[in-house]
Chain A
Amino acid sequence: MNIVVCMKAVPSTTEVKMDPVTNTIVRDGKQSVINPFDSSALEEAVCIKEQLGGHITVLSMGIPDTVRLLRDALARGADEGLLLSDRAFAGADTLATSYALSCAIKQLRQPAALIVCGKMAVDGDTAQIGPELAATLGIPCVTDVCEVLEAGEKAIRVRRATDGGFAIVEVQLPAVITVAKDIRIPRMPSIAGVRFGQTGPVAVKTAADVDADRACIGLNGSPTQVVRSFTPERTDAGISLCGTPNEQAQALFELVEGGLR
């Protein structure tokens, strides 16, 4: 089975720097890591490949340094990496990103049977890329998959989390699934994997390379406009309860009781 895993580089800390002019995240490559949901997506793809055979392409859009993360994905079981990197992609929202990714997927030598995405990225938290990618490609999508029950060449049966519990869904391929983080514990690379990660194939392509329409990528193709981004200010000061343990307990009781009233 030919599988594409979509992967995003995200900041490794919660101290995200914002560009004050464009209101987008400053991605300087420093300390960036693979979005943890995407690591789980890769692990699921590797497990399916171990069962059925096939080929895994990891696909990302980002700055040139993202190649480092794609090579890490090769070390963990992917066969090939593809990075979309071009200033023309900069400032993309989820719609423009999913369009760019779809352009790359359409150009793959072997058509993708299954596209696996993390449910969401830990920096943007939108959970939109998977469904938008499926819509752009005109194929079905199952979101929030927590277990792959059966994978075949023609269809895949999965368990997905719903508000009320679980749903079991069987979907014809090609399809997109987005996975929860705990679907699998991502494996660590082996020494042999690290060797492959250093030498394995990773291509870097521009917007022109994938025949992307310039009106649909980057800021031009992004209907989402971020008006302002800011760190919420702490408004409530803490309260320090003093006195003997009994006095403190009494003060705490009155505080809680007052709050409940």
Chain B
Amino acid sequence: MVHIKPFTLDFDEYRKDESRAVGEAASISFPTCEADVCAVLAELYPQRVPVTVQGGRTGLASGAVPHGGHVMNLSKMTRALGMRAANGTYYLQVEPGTVLSQLRGDLEDKNINTAGWSAASLAAWEQYTHDRPFFFPTDPTETSATIGGMVACNASGARSYRYGPVRPHVSGLRVVLADGATVLDLRRDQTHSIGRSLELLPQAATTGGAGEQGRQGSEPGTAVGGAVGGAVVGGVGEQGSPSHAPIHIDLPGYHMPATKNASGYFAEDSMDAIDLFIGSDGTLGTITLIELELTPTPQVTWGVSCFFEHEEQALDFTVRVRDNIADASALEFFDAGALQILRQQKTQGTAFAGLPAIDPHADCCIYVELQCVSEDAAYEQLYRLGAILEDVGGSEQATWVGRTDIDREQQRFFRHAVPESTNMLIDERKKTDPAITKLGSDMSVPNERLHDVMAMYRTTLQENDLQTAVWGHIGNNHLHVNVLPRDMRDYARGKALYQQWAQTVTNMGGAVSAEHGVGKLKRDFLTVMYGEDHIRAMARTKLQLDPHGIFGRGNLFSTDVLNEVAAAMAGQADDPHAFDQAREA
């Protein structure tokens, strides 16, 4: 039986995540299976204890930072529960605590612990081991991220240029609702909204004896009362009849930007029910199983780092590459500020001494990853890339082509050294003023606004005399503008700028959070993007699934907003027990 432990000093690290924000909690648990999750929630529910669900705590928006109550850390739910083969590909079911690096390695080595799998899963696995290689393409920088966390914030990465965020690769989810007694078994293409109205058919969670099975890690198809894995494989309709009343949900009425977006709930007409939960920032339920659709591994992967003397050339290059290079899987940008910090760190410290030398004339760089079906195709795309480069005023000479593992590793080192070296710079400044911290933006705009958004960044940064390093996913017009404050005045000016940018980016049809999620840190930006009415509509959606506002307190909405909406739903505004009343409403 899983224990709910008091939140003693031993668990201090679970108060924070990579955003470096720190929260508070009264208790903590580490479930090892869905039955554990149900048991913990069922125990906490009568007291309406808020629950913050955690994975690898690698998020940058404080989504996993507790806001009082209980921390449910899923890092011990790491099993692969089954596999199915269909449509020429494979679907792997994993628990939410599965770490990305582990999953990648297991898929590549075709070495997964299949203990307890059903006969059907074992047959699919056997087929997989003899098939060509497959992979899971979502590639956030932090490979210690968990799959559950990635789904919760709809994570992306460099390759989202070609493969999109994690969303299209998720084909099934199991979600335990706040009472611990209700489970949603969601499979893509099975349940859609009618307009903005969605009806979900929950199942009864099975705990107790079935939970024992789950903990023993035996048959995934029968673990947790025959629901885990089997339900995802078979689908809701095939696994017995729902034992709870349908849940009716009114989806928010906003129109999402036509750009890379991880800002608030996914909502559109006739949407797939599963998409509401992907990117919901841990506010609707606890994900206990994820089914991932695997992608065939490309035969050839080459990296090409292209250096430019002027930023304008890099922007023109991006537009041309988008139109002409079909096999590009990533387009990543590094500006003059980023290269300058790298040059300094290379000469000053030992950590980056092994970096390849950067041409002193280079002002900025774009890394293009090519993924092709053959070497011949890769050469054709490479030379086409070279021609575009020369057309926009660059040079084929000023490039690095990574065709071998060693070269690709050098390029990876270079790309990862950029954020690391800026962090080192900030750490150095913290010695003078511990309050100083890096400010990083996560906004995206539609393709046609790339030049405009860059002009906006440059003009406003120059006006404010701020040191910055800009890098990120230029292929998706999604740049992380990092302000590197020299003092707290710089910090304040940077924060004000971000608010200003959120408005301008929204006006351009963009998103205030493109990949990190909103969490607690970008709540205000979300209000700028959608307006207060839509935020309330979002809160209403949440409360229809989580009537007492148990999950993810502080994420997406402030407690005040949630309270206000709950009270309105209960018809009793300003009632301190509004969450409790809302359920009956």
Contact = CB atoms under 8 A, between A and B. Distances in A.
A191 B381 CA distance: 11
A191 B396 contact: yes
Interface in A26-54: 33, 36, 39
A190 B356 contact: no
Contact of B400 (A33, A190, A198): A190
A190 B404 contact: no
Contacts of A191: 304, 382-383, 385-386, 389, 396-397, 399, 401
A192 B397 contact: yes
A185 B354 contact: yes
A72 B399 contact: no
A237 to B, nearest CB: 23
A187 interface: yes
B401 A36 contact: no
A223 B234 CA distance: 67
Interface in A1-60: 12, 33, 36, 39
Interface string B348-362: 000000111100000
Interface in B280-318: 304-305
Interface string B195-236: 000000000000000000000000000000000000000000
B362 to A, nearest CB: 13
B406 A190 contact: no
A187 B400 CA distance: 8
User: Could you say which interface size class chain B belongs to?
Assistant: 20 to 34
A130 B354 CA distance: 26
A188 B383 contact: no
B398 interface: yes
A189 interface: yes
A195 interface: yes
Interface residues of A, number: 18
A200 interface: no
A193 B406 CA distance: 17
B405 interface: yes
B68 interface: no
B406 A194 contact: no
Contacts of A186: 406
Interface in B302-336: 304-305
A190 B405 contact: no
A12 B403 CA distance: 14
A197 to B, nearest CB: 10
Interface string B379-394: 1001101100100000
B390 to A, nearest CB: 9
Contacts of B304: 191
B404 A72 contact: yes
A12 B405 contact: yes
Nearest to B303: A188
A194 B402 CA distance: 10
Contact of B401 (A12, A39, A185, A194): A194
A185 B357 contact: yes
B499 interface: no
Interface in A144-199: 185-195, 198
B405 A193 contact: no
Contacts of A192: 386, 396-397, 399
B383 A195 contact: yes
Contacts of A190: 396-401
A177 B583 CA distance: 81
Contacts of A188: 305, 356, 400-402, 407, 410-411
A192 B401 CA distance: 10
Given A185-B354, A190-B396, A198 B379 contact: yes
Interface in B531-552: none
Contact of A33 (B383, B404, B410): B404
Interface string B402-435: 1111110011000000000000000000000000
Contacts of B406: 33, 36, 39, 186
B66 to A, nearest CB: 26
A115 to B, nearest CB: 24
Nearest to B354: A185
Nearest to B306: A191
Contacts of A72: 403-404
A234 B486 CA distance: 55
Contacts of B405: 12, 33
14 contacts: A33-B406, A72-B404, A75-B401, A188-B400, A188-B411, A191-B304, A191-B382, A191-B386, A191-B399, A191-B401, A192-B396, A193-B401, A194-B379, A194-B401
Given A72-B404, A188-B410, A195-B396, 8 more contacts: A12-B405, A33-B406, A36-B406, A186-B406, A187-B400, A191-B304, A191-B397, A192-B399
Interface of A: 12, 33, 36, 39, 72, 75, 185-195, 198
Interface of B: 304-305, 354-357, 379, 382-383, 385-386, 389, 396-407, 410-411
